[in-house]
Amino acid sequence: AQSVTQPDIHITVSEGASLELRCNYSYGATPYLFWYVQSPGQGLQLLLKYFSGDTLVQGIKGFEAEFKRSQSSFNLRKPSVHWSDAAEYFCAVGAQDSNYQLIWGAGTKLIIKP
Amino acid sequence: KAGVTQTPRYLIKTRGQQVTLSCSPISGHRSVSWYQQTPGQGLQFLFEYFSETQRNKGNFPGRFSGRQFSNSRSEMNVSTLELGDSALYLCASSLPDIGELFFGEGSRLTVL
């Protein structure tokens, strides 16, 4: 069955430290991959996406993610987090042959220590 | 370009009542999806409409319904509200066959 796993429910990092949020997927087709961020009380905002090409993609707010087909992973990274990065992060996967219907991870809540 | 607009932003209902939520997509977007978000269940897909037709449907009871108008605006309705329907309902619009969703800020429903 198709699935997306974000193994970390919560992650706490110090301001200025580096960040990596994990996303693993199980998908038969060539996937389209997304990371979204949700600040408290807000809707979701697209951080970055991978459709094809260079497996290292750059997004907004200084985030990047790397698609590793052999590991079925699409981990999100940031070299130095800011207090404003505290939010919940969602990984999502879709494919053309499933009508682009996205499958969502459960989310990872990022807590920033001052 | 205006974003996705959801109304109302907050509402309180009692058990047994019904509620209608509205979503205006980004201009030019013909696909509208609805999600329910709760702390325990995360993001749950309700349904997707494209050109006034329901294209995909999640695993929700028939009390949850939706529709899309010719101008791509969408509404969802929940009848016979239950306490467990308390949630943030998110609407997202997209261009067809792209998959990238643009979300509204949500309608927060509290059922008492």
Report the residue from B42, B94, B104 with minimal CB separation from A43. Answer: B104
- Mean pLDDT value across residues B32-48: 91
pLDDT of amino acid B97: 65
A52 touches chain B (CB under 8 A): no
CB A103 within 8 A of CB A35: no
Q: How far apart are CA A17 and CA A25, in angstroms?
A: 26
**A30 interfacial to chain B (CB closer than 8 Å):** no
Q: Would the CB atoms of B48 and A90 count as touching at under 8 Å? A: no
pLDDT tens readout for residues A60-81 = 999 999 999 999 999 999 999 9
Find the CB nearest B100 among A49, A90, A106. Answer: A49
Specify the pLDDT at position A95: 74
DSSP-derived letter for residue A11 is E
Cβ distance of B106 and A42 shorter than 8 Å: yes
**What tens digit of pLDDT does each residue of B69-88 get?**
999 999 999 999 999 999 99
Q: What proportion of chain A, given as a percentage, has pLDDT over 70?
A: 94
Residues A105, A22 contacting (CB under 8 angstroms) = no
**Do the Cβ atoms of B45 and A42 come within 8 Å?**
no
How far from the centroid of its chain's Cα atoms is residue B62's Cα?
A: 14
- Average pLDDT value for chain A: 91
Q: At B1, is the secondary structure helix, strand, or coil?
A: coil
What is the pLDDT at residue A28?
73
Tell if the CB–CB gap between A107 and B55 is shorter than 8 Å.
Answer: no
Q: pLDDT over 90 for what percent of chain A?
A: 74
